[in-house]
Amino acid sequence: MTIVLESPGGARATVTEHGAHVLSWTPAAGDERLFLSARSRFGDGASIRGGIPVIFPQFAAFGPLPKHGFARTRPWTTLHVSPDSATFELSADAATRAIWPHEFAARVVVRVDDASVAVTLTVENRDPAAFSFAAALHFPAQWDPKLGIHVT
């Protein structure tokens, strides 16, 4: 399922449950700011090329898991949707435990306002023991540096 968020002033962000992946962001009275490849594949196990993917629990090929982990290729559950924000969750299940034996819940919140899109990733350890992971929100923007875009 794809969800379109819109700010009161008309900025828009499009997010898919596949990977809790932000596909598009257009500020109010502006142009598309995210690159999304025409060669992107959508569906079970596919990696979407471009947008803002969720990288978890491994970055790149630095470990035994699939490149950039499994979060970006899995379906996420939509927990909440309002006109300008949405919350998604991915929890450990049989498929994730088969390749990464840890109990976790990852949440992504996407919010759009007239001038920005905010994407927040939170990971909760539900294991009885500590575990290590890597996480990132990859931002392949198409932008004009004069716009003063900041990634924090």
Residue 134, pLDDT score: 92
Decide if pLDDT at 152 tops 50.
no
Domain annotation covers residue 38: yes
Q: Which two tokens stand for residue 69?
A: 């982990």
- In-domain check, residue 120: yes
CA-nearest of 139, 128, 121 to 57 is: 121
Helix ranges (H only) for the chain are 94-99
Write the Ramachandran bin of 46: left for phi over 0, alpha for psi from -120 to 50, otherwise beta. Answer: beta
The structural domain count of the chain equals: 1
- pLDDT, tens digit, 9 for 90 and up, residues 80-113: 999 999 999 999 999 999 999 999 999 999 999 9
Domain assignment of residue 127, yes or no: yes
Select from 108, 84, 102 the least CA-distant residue to 13.
84
Residue 51 lies in a domain: yes
Question: Band of the pLDDT at 33, cuts 50, 70, 90?
Answer: confident
Write the single-letter amino acid at 84.
D
Task: Say which range, 71-75, 83-87, 101-105, 123-127, has the weakest mean pLDDT.
Answer: 71-75
Per-residue pLDDT, averaged over 119-137, amounts to: 95
Largest CA distance in the chain: 49
Report long-range pairs for 80-89 (Cβ below 8 Å, ≥24 apart): 81/3, 83/5, 83/6, 84/5, 84/6, 84/7, 84/8, 84/111, 84/112, 84/113, 85/5, 85/109, 85/110, 85/111, 85/112, 86/3, 86/5, 86/15, 86/110, 88/15, 88/17, 88/20
pLDDT at 46 over 70: no
**Residue 152 is assigned to a structural domain of this protein:** no
Any domain includes 124: yes
Residue 62 has pLDDT above 60, yes or no: yes
Q: What is the spatial distance between Cα 26 and Cα 33, in angstroms, rounded to a whole number? A: 6
Enclosing domain of residue 68: 2-147
Give the domain CATH number at 66. Answer: 2.70.98.10
**10 Å Cβ neighbour count for 21?**
29
How far apart, in whole angstroms, are the C-alpha atoms of residue 145 and residue 40? 26
Average of per-residue pLDDT across 114-133: 95
